[in-house]
Each structure stands twice: as C-alpha cells, then as structure tokens.
A = this chain, B = another copy of it.
C-alpha cells in the first residue's frame, strides 16, 4: 500500500483538502508530526473532524520509528499529517528517499504554505528572493545569516520572507544538567523580537540594511480569521501587538507603485484582512 504524506494547512481542522480527508479516513494508522503547537486547534478537534485516532509523533519519533512506519505502509495505507505543505522540510525528503529504498509507495497531498500565504500582503511573489529564518539568539554565538540574506536580496531589489523560530518540545538547559528530559514551555519568536534582533545586528555591522526606519511588514496567523498584518517602519512595528503565534516578518526590496498601494492597506494601525 502507500505512505501518504498529507499537508493539513496552516490553521485548523478545516484546512485539510477533501482529497486529504478521504485518505485519512481510509488509513489504518494516522500520525501527526508534532507541530500541533503551531496549529490553532486541538488534537481532539482534528480527530473529531477526521473521524480517526491520531498518533502524535515528534520529529525524533518519526525519525526513530521511520522503519516501522515504512514497514506498516508496505501492507496498509498509513498517513503522516504535516502542518503546511508537506515537502518544505528536509525530514520528509529523507523519508521519501528511505521509502524508495524500501520499495514503499509514497503519495503526497499538498496544501497551503506560509511561503505563498504571504501573498496576502500584496508584494509580488516573483520578487521574493531567498527565504530566510531568524532563530532565537544563543548566549554564546550570534547567527547573522538572515541579515546577509536580506542584504543579498535587497541588492537585487528582492523581498525577503523571514520565518521566525519555534522551540517546541526542547529540554531546557537546566533540565539537561539535571539529567531530566522535561520540556521547556513552547516559545515562538514574535515580530517584535525579530526586529530587535535585526536592529541589534545592524548596530554592530552598520551596513544600513535594517535600520529603525526600514519599512517592513509583520504578519501573524496568516490564513486564519484573525490574521494581523501591519506595515510600517521597524521602530513603529517594534511597539505593535501582533498577538498569538505564528508570526513572520517581510523585509521588502524595491517597491513597485502597485506594491506601495497594497502596503497602504496595512499601514500603521492594526488591520486584519
């Protein structure tokens, strides 16, 4: 039979496609890759709508148990649910490679991804350069690759989508010392933290890539009924309240007249589409 890797979209139990739902219903086992904390509904809500028990599987388990998941998928239909569009993460590519080696048939059901949901903002999708991500800073080292990505994109007039860090199911440092694997509370980077981080790098490098006056766009919960999009200067967005996760930040390159018009919709005050 088949291992179905099924995208379930960005927000809740109603974001699955009819095709995805049909497959889930006929699957003998349904795994959900443990990014539930990033969904805006409970596992119960998913189970009720899908009419199926769902096995939570953190990425480690998916990697560790991939052999048994794949062996099952040889005999029956098995579904692995993934938030967003399923093939954006390397883990799934690895899964496909190993399935091929084992002779397991793979089927992918696509869904919405944050990478195109940002189209809502009104900047041309063709004018986005490389996507980057901003991670929570560590005490010992500072990542600046996102600053460089913005710089390189800007040099070509291109926009940059910055995906913001999530820490879910990570053991805290204190607990690691104690030998305990108790998890830290999930943490989601906010637009405000992302801007702080960029201004901090700017204050050291002084290359005028991301200053207090840089126009940028903060987004929260795109694709949901209470999404928030705010466009303005970095220093203005630093004060704005974007509410619950997930957030992302867009740093535009060269703006076309039409794009400027679109950004006016989201200017200054809090607006929801």
- Please give the residue numbers on chain A whose beta carbons come within 8 Å of chain B beta carbons, in ascending order: 7, 9-10, 12-19, 21-22, 49, 85-88, 90, 93-94, 96-97, 100, 106-113, 115-117, 119-120, 122, 124-133, 152, 156, 158, 222-223, 225, 258, 261-262, 265, 273
Contact = CB atoms under 8 A, between A and B. Distances in A.
A15 B18 contact: yes
A69 B163 CA distance: 35
6 contacts: A87-B122, A93-B258, A100-B265, A107-B225, A115-B116, A126-B133
The 7 A-B residue pairs whose C-beta atoms are closest, nearest first, are A87-B119, A110-B112, A14-B19, A113-B116, A14-B18, A85-B116, A93-B122
Nearest to A19: B14
Given A90-B258, A94-B258, A111 B108 contact: no
Contacts of A85: 112-113, 116-117, 119
Given A85-B117, A108-B223, 17 more contacts: A9-B17, A10-B110, A14-B17, A14-B19, A14-B22, A16-B17, A17-B18, A17-B111, A18-B18, A87-B116, A96-B122, A96-B265, A97-B265, A108-B120, A113-B113, A125-B131, A130-B156
B16 A18 contact: yes
A1 to B, nearest CB: 15
A130 B133 contact: no
A21 to B, nearest CB: 7
A152 B12 CA distance: 39
A13 B19 CA distance: 9
Nearest to A5: B120
